[in-house]
Chain A
């Protein structure tokens, strides 16, 4: 089945540094999503990307939908301690009405920010 490879698995950075993580897929997705998960909580959507080549920002977060539709990256600028958490990429094929709920998730990137 479809798989998403997310890297890096973990990052340890100093407050104020920029962060970059990415996901690659063996198959095409029509939508890419980036989520953040805090301990004991469900994932929260950060950014959604719908078109190949699309570059979208949300505050200090920027994400891009790769031209090949097989990859996406997420950048966080000027990191702060509350950025700590697990970041997941997810893709959807939107192949039909019953496929909308079926997201394929990456393994996650654990981000630690040292003050």
Chain B
């Protein structure tokens, strides 16, 4: 597709369950980012992938959060044993180059609700 695609667009899960969120970046974009946006808040950095380099995981809030990326394609963000405070919109973005966060294109996000 032409843009960053995220799925599902909405996810309601029970507290304690695991969830997987998917991001399909724009083809050819080497950098991929995950951010979290709580209601009424700005975006919080979670993790950043750049090519084959080790990802920057410094924004992951706890060890219940993990993310993987296969090469320069799809990424999945996994949240284990979800808690109510995990409810947020999870946004993925991709860009063409390491310096290219200014050229980063965001997906529409996955709205996660933990009940």
Give the B-binding residues of A (Cβ under 8 A). 4, 6, 31, 33, 40-45, 48, 88, 90, 92, 97-108
- The reply to whether A42 and B91 form a contact with Cβ atoms under 8 Å apart is yes
* Across-interface contacts of A103 in B (CB, < 8 A): 35, 43, 45, 101
Contact A101 B45 (CB under 8 A): yes
How far, in Å, is A97 (CB) from chain B's closest CB? 6
Cross-interface CB contact of B56 among A4, A42, A102, cutoff 8 Å: A102
State A106–B40 Cα separation when bound (angstroms). 11
Beyond known contacts A4-B42, A42-B105, A107-B42: 18 more, CB 8 A cutoff: A41-B106, A42-B4, A42-B93, A42-B109, A97-B53, A98-B48, A98-B53, A100-B98, A100-B99, A100-B101, A101-B33, A101-B50, A101-B104, A102-B45, A103-B43, A105-B44, A108-B41, A108-B42
| Interface residue SS majority, chain B | mixed
Measured between alpha carbons, how far is A33 from B93 in the docked complex, in Å? 15
How far is A90 from B42 in the complex, measured between Cα atoms in Å?
9
- The contact of A102 among B4, B40, B58, B99, by CB within 8 Å, is B58
Please determine whether A98 and B50 come into contact, CB atoms closer than 8 angstroms. Answer: yes
The range of chain B's interface size is: 20 to 34
Q: Which residues of B contact A33 (CB under 8 A)?
A: 101-102
Chain B residues in 8 Å Cβ range of A6: 42
Does any Cβ of A come within 8 Å of B108's Cβ?
Answer: yes
Task: Decide if B107 is an interface residue (CB 8 Å cutoff).
Answer: yes
**How does the 8 Å CB contact mask read for B54-79 relative to A, with 1 for contact and 0 for none?**
10101100000000000000000000
Give the nearest-CB partner of B95 in chain A: A101
Q: Does B31 contact A (CB under 8 A)?
A: yes
Residues of B within 8 A of A43 (CB): 43, 91, 106
Q: How far is the CB of B11 from chain A (nearest CB, A)?
A: 15
Q: Are B106 and A42 within 8 A (Cβ)? A: yes
Q: For residue B106, which residues in chain A have a CB less than 8 angstroms away from its CB? A: 41-44
Q: Contact check, B43 vs A88: say whether CB atoms are below 8 A apart.
A: yes
The complex places the Cα of A106 from the Cα of B44 at a distance, in Å, of 10
**Closest A residue by C-beta to B43:** A105
